[in-house]
Amino acid sequence: MRRTSAETKSIILSAARERFAADGYERATIRSIAADAKIDPAMVMRYFGSKEKLFAAAAEFDLRFDALADVPREQLGAAFVRHFLRQWEAGEALQVLLRTGITNDGAAERMREIFAGQLAPRIAALTGDPASAPVRAAMISAQMLGIGLARYILQFPPVVGMSEDELVSWLGPTIQRYLTAD
């Protein structure tokens, strides 16, 4: 009995998040995750049951859009961009989702839930127009996922080289438009 079960469980979880974020679902093997956590592969099974369930636990997260509740209308675009960029950098969760959502159907479904279920209602509340909220949410998601893809996954040099402020000045007006256009 070296540790409590909750401790090792969380050690495994964070190792899993890193591996999934770096390698995607298929290439992140249970053995490599276990090695990172300095633990036996069988432990991963004991605590999470299967690779799918491990992944489900690792991909759980909250975009925390509530932080944007009282931003003035005209600054919403810039605020959204800044918020997204920080979410990308805060933890591996978004990278996990993007890397895996592309080959793993479960992850794609979760992505849809998150962006439709967390972003759209927020936009409906902010703009007061529930009818157009899903489309606006989808356009904003597409733009911000595209930037995440270019910056963190594909690593296009110009995008990697830009500062947060530069990105905000490029993307802010775009998001603002997706929020408010006709």
Residues that bind DNA (CB under 7 A): 1-5, 8, 28-32, 39-43, 45-46, 49-52
CB of 25 to DNA, least distance (A): 9
| Residue 139, C-beta contacts closer than 8 angstroms, at least 6 positions apart | 178
> Would you list the DSSP string of 1-50?
--S-HHHHHHHHHHHHHHHHHHHHHHHS-HHHHHHHTTS-HHHHHHHHSS
What does 154 interact with, of its own copies, DNA, none (CB < 5 to 8 A by kind)?
its own copies
Contacts to its own copies by CB under 8 A: 23-24, 26-27, 98-99, 101-103, 108, 111-112, 115-116, 134-135, 137-139, 141-147, 149-151, 153-159, 162, 170, 173-174, 177-178, 181
- How far does Cα 50 stand from its chain's mean position? 22
CB of 36 to its own copies, least distance (A): 18
Rounded least distance, CB 21 to DNA, Å: 15
Alpha helices in 128-180 (DSSP H): 133-148, 157-161, 164-180
Q: Which is nearer to DNA, 44 or 179 (CB)?
A: 44
The neighbour count for residue 102, using CB atoms within 10 Å, is 14
Given its own copies, DNA, none, residue 67, with its beta carbon under 5 to 8 Å by kind, binds none
Among DNA, its own copies, none, the one that 31 touches (CB under a kind-dependent 5 to 8 A) is DNA
Give the phi and the psi of residue 90 in degrees, each rounded to 5.
-60, -55
Pick 45 or 138: Cβ nearer DNA:
45
Unique residue bearing structure tokens 């356009």 = 139
Question: Could you report how far apart the first and last alpha carbons of the chain are, in Å?
Answer: 63
* Nearest residue (CB) to DNA, 46 versus 177: 46
CB of 92 to DNA, least distance (A): 18
